[in-house]
Structure 1
Amino acid sequence: MPKPLDPKCQLCSKLPTAKAKVLHGAEGDGCWNPHICHNRRSFYRRRKSANTGIETIIVEPPGTYFAVLYLYKELGDKPLHALAAELWLGQQPVCRLEPIHCFGLTAGKIRSYTDQVLQAFASQYSVSLYQYKDMFEINPAHCPVRPCPLHPPL
């Protein structure tokens, strides 16, 4: 199996040799090796230019509706801080439930609420939605709801 490309060397190959020697030589991070680096830089530059002759086409992905649920919670078995949801059509979001705090809501009430959101999306856009396509857990530090106990006013 071939060795993976080194991102540091890829970036270095785009620099002029003099600048690369300064950044990665004795005054820099010390990784410059004159026996290896000239050939490696040449390899990365040629590899990049060889791929430019390939034609690219764009095929529009199918436009299907799906719902996504965002859960603002700590990792592990911690309580849910907030939640939000979005309805997507293909590659674009078309409708959003603004985030709400979940303080004092039981697991049953949260489940009932997320089902209501799914039904609201379905009835608003006349589509069949039976479940969320994906759920993303986000650290509560990124909670966008204001006011929020995690982000007290200054």
Structure 2
Amino acid sequence: MISEFPTPYTPHPLFMPKPLDPKCQLCAKMPSSKAKVLHGPEGDKCWNPKVCHNRRSFYRRRSDDKSGQIDKITVEAPAIYYAVLYLYKEAGDKPLHALSAELWLGQKPVCRLEPIHCFGLTAGKIHTYTEQVLQAFAKQYGISLHQYKDMFEISPIHCPVRPCPLNPES
């Protein structure tokens, strides 16, 4: 008897599911507002409103469905202090619109510098100010901070300072 399929059975490539995209898996876990900022026109331009909402839902459900199939462990992440800086500016060599900073302990933010506009501040004054913020975080929590662990550039359209010339009606 001749078998219709070769042994062992290998599905035809056209009928095999696409592998899961790790980037989409991570994106599905964050709020859509944050995902749109990171992956939208101001971010890596990956966001496609025609497919991303459904895809995010698929990835969330898939991770829920598979949760019982593999054992999970939790290992507490090291609780170290680090600071991050948020720069509200257009991409490229454009002036800084606003800035903000946060101090984190492990996986949680513990202190936040409210955002300020940077109108009229020179690069030197901005650098001095950000160093003063690090010193204030260090003094407040009795720790040593020498630099920001990471800096995130965010489009000025998302500036949270009010009043703001980019958002006059808010």
TM-score interval, normalised by the smaller of the two chains: 0.5 to 0.7
For residues 6-85 of structure 1, the aligned pairs below 5 Å read: 52-85=68-101
Structure 2, unmatched stretches of 5+, are 1-15, 22-61
Instruction: State the partner residue of 2:162.
Output: 146
Distance 1:6-1:136 versus aligned 2 partners, 3 A rule = closer
State whether structure 2 residue 134 is matched by structure 1 residue 118. yes
- In the TM superposition, what whole-angstrom CA distance separates every residue of 1:41-70 from its partner, at most 9, and x where no partner exists? xxxx9xx76x73321111110000000000
TM-score, normalised to structure 2, is 0.62
1:91 corresponds, among 107, 117, 133, to 107
Larger radius of gyration between Structure 1 and Structure 2 = 1
Q: C-alpha separation between the residues in 1 aligned to 2:97 and 2:150?
A: 18
Amino acid at match of 2:71: E
SS across alignment from 1:5: coil
Q: C-alpha separation between the residues in 2 aligned to 1:63 and 1:128?
A: 14
Identity %: 71
Distance 1:6-1:63 versus aligned 2 partners, 3 A rule = closer
SS across alignment from 2:71: coil
State whether structure 2 residue 19 is matched by structure 1 residue 5. yes
TM-score, normalised to structure 1, is 0.68
Q: C-alpha separation between the residues in 2 aligned to 1:101 and 1:153?
A: 17
Instruction: State the partner residue of 2:122.
Output: 106
1:5: how far off?
1.9
Give the number of aligned pairs: 113
1:143: how far off?
0.1
Q: C-alpha separation between the residues in 2 aligned to 1:6 and 1:127?
A: 41
1:3: how far off?
7.8
